[in-house]
Amino acid sequence: MWSFSNIADSIHNGLSQTFNPTVTVILEMVIAGLAVIGLFAMLGLVLVIMERKVSAWMQIRLGPNRVGPKGMLQSFADTLKLLVKEGLTPNGADKFLFNLAPFIAMIVAMLLMAPIAFAKDFQLWDLNIGVLYVSAISSIMVISILMAGWASNNKYSLMGAMRSGAQIVSYELSAGLSILSIVILTGSLKVSTIIQSQADGWWIFKGHIPAIIAFIIFIIAVTAETNRAPFDLAEAESELTAGFHTEYSGMKFALFFLAEYVNVFIVCAIGTILFLGGWMPFHIGHWEGFNHVMDYIPSSIWFFGKTFFLIFIIMWFRWTFPRLRIDQLLNLEWKYLLPISMINVLVITAMAILKWHF
Amino acid sequence: MYRTTEIVNQEEGQPLEDGDMIINVGPQHPATHGVLHLVITLNGETIKKVEPHLGYIHRSIEKMCESLSYRQFIYVTSRMDYLSAHINNHACALCVEKGLEVEIPPRAQVIRVLMDELTRIASHELWWGAMAMDLGAFTPFFYAFRERESINDIMEETCGARLTMNYNVPGGVMHDLHPNFQKRVKDFIQLYKKKIHEYDEMVTGNIIFQNRMKNVGVLSAADAISYGCTGPTARGSGVSCDVRKHFPYEIYNQISFDEVLETQGDSYARYLVRIKEMQQSIRIIEQLIDNIPEGDFLTKTKAVLKLPKGEFYSQVETARGELGVYIVSEGGSTPYRIKFRSPGFSNLSVLDHIARGSKIGDLVAMMGTLDLVIPDIDR
């Protein structure tokens, strides 16, 4: 059966035959790095055109339809425009931090790609604290936003950054607790073990209602963490013009923009890995024939299919809901989501000890 | 821009307290729907003071009108509140007719009322979409424009223009209705009734939307009167002020419709008033569309109109409130002085009062529900 792991294996074998082990490892690292950069750019372009098409579909209009077939090359054209545009630095800005912030945003998004299993046996770095690594690295994102807001020397930017700081730090708790509930059920932080534990059923089905609650809280929390509507207070355009990236232009703006979309992809991928079985195919009990057919679909298609389904849901939020106010946003987290997810973690722990899950 | 605000504050002798920040919203800002400039004093996210600065789109329409004849000046008023251009023209035509003491044929009266109500619906549709956009929901804007577009098409067919109709002339309307008019209006009513539930599903019933609107920007009835608020803004606070009911013009006293009143006074009440007003407008159109009397659409008037010496005042209910037109005539062919009492100016003046102590996000929602049209405030 065709899989991404075949490509990885053949590259590894080919390099091992030609070079000694050290050079092989270095070359593989370079290839992996280039692949991540390529994937980063591709994901940004694909997700932007997807968002524009989804929003057009929800808003009874056509969306981009001039550049390329059905407007599919529109985001290439936009990126090209942003590349050749002048990147202005305002006079009063802190030049070093102002120019550094977009790169931190991009580096964070790239680092987060490492532990994601894109297909069966196709993963850059299967480190033993994979899930912890993801939640640790993703909290660095707030530093880039605060840096951008502070260094811009613009009141709108500063307010957007402060909002974003309060928001990301709060919602990280709920996201962390939802991740923790799956870690408790699995007994491991390693991404490959978490996926392997779902071979006989995804956690969202195996974990009864508490797992579904954890999944819903996870989706809400990551929507807030990636600053997507209805939690897009950091860049609320009707209040703060563009929030923390008001002063950015050209490629520096594009890096923030791409990082936002790649972050959406990453949090959806983490949600897929934790709750929807990663690249595991969909199986129903003892329907041997059905399960066999499902097994024939490549694992990469399972992974990307589930991830893009979650991305679609997050886009659906954006084009449906009005924005929350800052105090409502923090109330939602501290008064509702956090207590619910704490109790939920307790229930899941009891379930894991008593082996009540399937 | 920062320096100007510092000077403004020094002049008023109010030094900033520790931790306060002045932020300029506008004149170019997505929330102000035009060139309104608000200087906001903030403490964190909480608003301490809102100071509207006007004058960015002042075209001295009142002064221009003094050099235009009584036929010509009506067209300039389309550019005041461009969303209810027809109703502005109507108010001016009424005032001139009062001075000339001409009778308007019944057909023209019905046509004017029909057009007024279509304009009112179109204006409220745009307000609905724009207000949802202020709150961060983009999609309603496109749904609102779907219905508004069919009204604009009706206007285009009969009046020749989509936004600045210039259809009213002293003595009636400029020309007769298009033969398709009745059919298209009926089609529009059907479309509207079929789609209205989407508005409730998408915005009115949304829990986030209700939390953003309820108990926000509360305007008491006494304050609404003392600030001179009119239209849906005042009716949301329970002040009965519909000119169509209190000082009926044309045939409004022969039609059955309700004055929509809400008593809460918050943003949500103002929202509900406008939503329900659209339904009342539909009710008025339904009563009239099959009963347009035959006959003249225009009374013959002299080629050069001259108002007798004196002062004339007329008022109408636009989509935003009471529009008053005050003409002082010296007996010549142009007015000596014209004064417009625009609803938007008074409605804007309450913004500081209701916004103090709330958050920035609420300020945007309040501006949305006050339904500000800047060229109307700043003539």
3-state secondary structure of A63: coil
Q: Do B208 and A60 touch (CB under 8 A)?
A: no
Say whether pLDDT at A355 is over 80: no
Say whether pLDDT at A3 is over 80: no
* Contact yes or no for B98/B329 (Cβ under 8 A): no
Helix (H) or strand (E) holding B198: helix B181-199
Read off the pLDDT of each residue in A105-117 and give the average, rounded to a whole number. Answer: 86
Question: Is A336 part of the contact surface with chain B (CB cutoff 8 Å)?
Answer: no
Say whether pLDDT at B12 is over 70: no
**pLDDT, tens only, B73-108:** 888 888 888 888 889 998 988 888 888 888 888 888
3-state secondary structure of B312: strand
| Number of neighbouring beta carbons within 10 Å of residue A157 | 29
Domains of chain B (ranges; CATH) run 61-377 (1.10.645.10)
pLDDT > 90 in chain B, percent: 1
Q: Do B30 and A232 touch (CB under 8 A)?
A: no
Substitution target from B29, B40, B271, B362 for chain A, most A beta carbons within 10 A: B29
State chain A's mean pLDDT as an integer. Answer: 84
On the CB side of A91, CA atoms within 13 Å amount to: 0
| Per-residue pLDDT at B7 | 47
| Per-residue pLDDT at A339 | 92
Say whether pLDDT at B241 is over 80: yes
Cross-chain CB nearest to A239 (options B132, B211, B364): B364
| Per-residue pLDDT at B197 | 84
What would the two tokens of residue A332 be? 């939602």
Say whether pLDDT at B10 is over 70: no
Cα distance between residue A318 and residue A321, in whole Å:
6
Cα distance between residue B205 and residue A28, in whole Å:
55
| Per-residue pLDDT at A32 | 81
Q: What is the DSSP string of A120-158?
A: TTEES---TTHHHHHHHHHTTHHHHHHHHHHHTT-HHHH
Substitution target from A159, A232, A239 for chain B, most B beta carbons within 10 A: A239
Say whether pLDDT at A251 is over 80: yes
Q: Do B45 and A229 touch (CB under 8 A)?
A: no
| Bridge pairing between strands B310-317 and B37-43 | unpaired
pTM: 0.85
Read off the pLDDT of each residue in A67-91 and give the average, rounded to a whole number. Answer: 84
| Per-residue pLDDT at B2 | 47
β-pair partners for B317: B322
Q: Do B30 and A325 touch (CB under 8 A)?
A: no
Read off the pLDDT of each residue in A226-236 and give the average, rounded to a whole number. Answer: 80
Question: Is A165 part of the contact surface with chain B (CB cutoff 8 Å)?
Answer: no
A29 burial via Cβ count (<10 Å: 0-12, 13-18, 19+): exposed
Read off the pLDDT of each residue in A123-137 and give the average, rounded to a whole number. Answer: 84
* Contact yes or no for B73/B92 (Cβ under 8 A): yes
Give the residue carrying structure tokens 């000046």: B73
Residues 6+ apart with CB under 8 A from A38: none
| Per-residue pLDDT at B5 | 47
Cα distance between residue A113 and residue B299, in whole Å:
77
Substitution target from B360, B363, B369, B372 for chain A, most A beta carbons within 10 A: B360
Cα distance between residue A5 and residue B90, in whole Å:
74
Read off the pLDDT of each residue in A305-310 and give the average, rounded to a whole number. Answer: 90
Cα distance between residue B45 and residue A254, in whole Å:
28
Residues of A in contact with B142 (CB under 8 A): 59-61
How many CB pairs (< 8 A) connect A and B? Answer: 82
- What is residue B205's DSSP assignment? T
Would you mind telling me the total number of residues written for chain B in this entry? 379
| Per-residue pLDDT at A327 | 86
Q: Is the preceding peptide bond at A230 cis, omega within 30 degrees of 0?
A: yes
Query: A184-199 burial string, b = 16+ CB within 10 Å, else e?
Result: bbbebbbbbebbebbe
pLDDT > 70 in chain B, percent: 95
Residues 6+ apart with CB under 8 A from B263: B221, B237, B238, B269
Say whether pLDDT at B11 is over 80: no
Of the ranges A257-261, A288-292, A307-311, B241-245, which one carries the lowest mean pLDDT score?
Answer: A288-292
**Backbone torsion region of residue B318, taken as left when φ is above 0, otherwise alpha when ψ lies between -120 and 50, otherwise beta:** beta
What would the two tokens of residue A29 be? 């690292």
Q: Between B2 and A267, where is the model more confident? A: A267
β-pair partners for B38: B25, B52
- What is residue A336's DSSP assignment? I
Give the residue carrying structure tokens 């594009």: A254
Helices A208-225 and A338-354 pack at an angle, to 10 degrees, of: 140
State chain B's mean pLDDT as an integer. Answer: 85
Cross-chain CB nearest to A321 (options B21, B137, B146): B137
Residues of A in contact with B199 (CB under 8 A): none
β-pair partners for A122: A119
Say whether pLDDT at A4 is over 80: no
> pLDDT grade, residue A2 (50/70/90)?
low
In this structure, what are the phi and psi dihedrals at residue B230, rounded to the nearest 5 degrees? Answer: -135, 175
Question: Is A317 part of the contact surface with chain B (CB cutoff 8 Å)?
Answer: no
Read off the pLDDT of each residue in A294-299 and give the average, rounded to a whole number. Answer: 79
Radius of gyration of chain A (CA): 21
Read off the pLDDT of each residue in B225-237 and give the average, rounded to a whole number. Answer: 89
Residue ranges of the domains in chain A? 85-354
**pLDDT, tens only, A144-155:** 888 888 888 888
- Long-range contacts from B336-343, C-beta under 8 angstroms, 24+ separation: B336/B66, B337/B62, B337/B66, B338/B62, B338/B65, B338/B66, B338/B73, B339/B62, B340/B61, B340/B62, B340/B77, B340/B80, B340/B379, B341/B315, B342/B80, B342/B81, B342/B376, B342/B377, B342/B379, B343/B81, B343/B230, B343/B231, B343/B318, B343/B376
Say whether pLDDT at B8 is over 70: no
Give the residue carrying structure tokens 């508490």: A210
| Per-residue pLDDT at B14 | 61
Read off the pLDDT of each residue in A184-212 and give the average, rounded to a whole number. Answer: 83
| Per-residue pLDDT at B289 | 87
Question: For chain A, what is the total number of helices (H) and then of strands (E)?
Answer: 16, 2
Q: Do B208 and A237 touch (CB under 8 A)?
A: no
> pLDDT grade, residue B1 (50/70/90)?
very low
**pLDDT, tens only, B306-350:** 888 888 999 898 888 888 999 998 888 888 889 988 888 888 889
